[in-house]
Structure 1
């Protein structure tokens, strides 16, 4: 881990030099963890050409020592992380132009930069660390693969208990218990369980609807291990599927297959999205696929890159993305099939192995 963090810091320092910055104030906690290994809930990190200083509080004195090691200089601040930051900056020679993460800094804290930190030149920055996070190293890929395996075990355990009469929230409870038993540290997002007509809501919250025979049941969830996420969706039928359900399902499945097989380095997010979208549109369901094809996963369940109609940035080896086409018909239901895919030098490698054929749950 220490060597990987050294490489990450070197990459950030190169980015700082290109941006004509003497340093960067990192306030987004996923970025803090990426650079230092620290997973606590209260931290700031200051990175310059020579230093990496992490500020946190007494609650994390033991944790930060265990997680960070020599990846950063740690300062436990008894009163305020900001007071520690000002003191550290004052002791640094030649640090004047300092970037801050404009997408993550609270307005209240921006006011601190203008008032208490007025002697330094503060420059808003976007995605300096997030761009580095797009391409995963071997340790990150291994963690995501483990999170995928945990999610798949949890899904298998959940489907074995699925039956008419359960509420969506009860199914979500079973799923989340199975995730914990599989070893998941947390839930990367509120698990989605949507049945019957509610399956037409792409991001439905599990509700009190009672599952019935004949329902489509859409389950979207993930696991977390060593801070890294997986994100999987499967749609099943309680009982026997109708011909209409089979047709919609097969359309989504083929769109998933085509996109997963097509993604490769150099392909833009726009082109990847088009592979699935054009097939669904040709089958007459284009208006029912309203969201983008996918997104990156890692320390966050939604991060760069994006596979969407407006994204011109190319994919690169080491990126891990979701492929999740869907068809949603109000008043009828919906189908989504989502896999996690690693972009390799030769194309996409699907990390998700859970069956994609339509499962009919008796």
Structure 2
């Protein structure tokens, strides 16, 4: 399947609706209210910023406002019935639920519903019995179909193109913010429709901050330069980190870098269907710990990517759930030493029944930038 064939509204929606309805039946729910915009996009293909979705065994109804009247019809086709509300989506929701026969027990997404909206359920929607749900749609989203995988691969290619154009411009005296601006310009030129998160550019001692924001610090010779960023296409994200040295690396920098790179390679290669998130995390963590830097690796190994840059599954010390075939995860071990600097190397990895396939191809060897 070509990338062009999967860039528009998702083709696998009927199967997703069937799977979601099966999940409702297992949960003994008559309907599900979907408020997460990412989940709504997954189920219907709609990418607008204001929507509610109601799903029952027979009906799938999307409510949005006038701004999206044309867009919603183009994006969702026959995936759902559309209601354009002129005043308030919640008013339209009560009216819509009132027309649905045999709907009493309605699930809501407890991770995504604002408290003010929960109050609406209890007050204005009191005639229905509301049941909290967790990760009903997210569990389905964790396993990518061929179209989703192709879009993530395209997002990876965009990100790597942008990075290849940015790295030659790194030099002493340029600020982190300027580097981020150059990178993001090249992301746009490569076709990225957005940025999945604010691009991280952290240099020198600031590279020890795992989620540093690009600041006004100017790059200096001898710095680690950590760049963590991604691209987005048709809603699907990539997430990549590479760490460079501006000038010649010291022995200490090279040692730390080599440990992180080896942890990355070991963890990426060890992924298997059925492996728990805890076991995957341990592959990298145990190696880093054995080399004497265990306390300097404080975050989890990785996370799923897709319509959101952080989604299921998680690769972390506390996650006992097994990895399924078809997941796409990040592998991002790191070592961070306050006042000295840090290294992170992050790849996007597809896990099939046959084993892992690393989607990112940008070299992992230490780049010493002259």
State the TM-score, normalized to the length of structure 1: 0.99
Give the Å deviation of 1:3. Answer: 4.5
Structure 2 counterpart of 1:147: 155
Following superposition of structure 1 onto structure 2, how do residues 57-96 of structure 1 map, counting pairs within 5 Å? 57-96=65-104
What CA distance in whole angstroms lies between the structure 1 residues aligned with 2:42 and 2:59? 16
Helix, strand or coil at the partner of 2:83: strand
Structure 1 counterpart of 2:336: 328
Q: Which runs of 5+ in 1 are unaligned?
A: none
Helix, strand or coil at the partner of 1:25: strand
Following superposition of structure 1 onto structure 2, how do residues 167-182 of structure 1 map, counting pairs within 5 Å? 167-182=175-190
Helix, strand or coil at the partner of 1:254: helix
State the TM-score, normalized to the length of structure 2: 0.97
Give the Å deviation of 1:160. Answer: 1.5
Structure 2 counterpart of 1:165: 173
Q: Which runs of 5+ in 2 are unaligned?
A: 1-8
Give the Å deviation of 1:2. Answer: 5.8
Give CA deviations for 1:302-329 in whole Å, capped at 9, x if unaligned. 0010000000000111100000000000
What CA distance in whole angstroms lies between the structure 2 residues aligned with 1:28 and 1:14? 20
User: Runs of 4+ in structure 1 displaced over 4 angstroms?
Assistant: none
What CA distance in whole angstroms lies between the structure 1 residues aligned with 2:11 and 2:220? 53
Give the Å deviation of 1:110. Answer: 0.7
Give CA deviations for 1:222-279 in whole Å, capped at 9, x if unaligned. 0000100000000000011111110000000000000000001010000000000000
Give the Å deviation of 1:164. Answer: 0.8
Structure 1 counterpart of 2:192: 184
What CA distance in whole angstroms lies between the structure 1 residues aligned with 2:258 and 2:280? 19
Give the Å deviation of 1:100. Answer: 0.3
Pairing 1:113–2:114 present: no
Structure 1 counterpart of 2:3: none
What CA distance in whole angstroms lies between the structure 2 residues aligned with 1:140 and 1:2? 8
Give CA deviations for 1:109-145 in whole Å, capped at 9, x if unaligned. 1111111111111101110000000000011000000
Helix, strand or coil at the partner of 2:181: helix
Q: CA RMSD in A?
A: 0.7
Q: Which of 128, 131, 134 does residue 123 from structure 1 map onto?
A: 131
What CA distance in whole angstroms lies between the structure 2 residues aligned with 1:102 and 1:316? 24
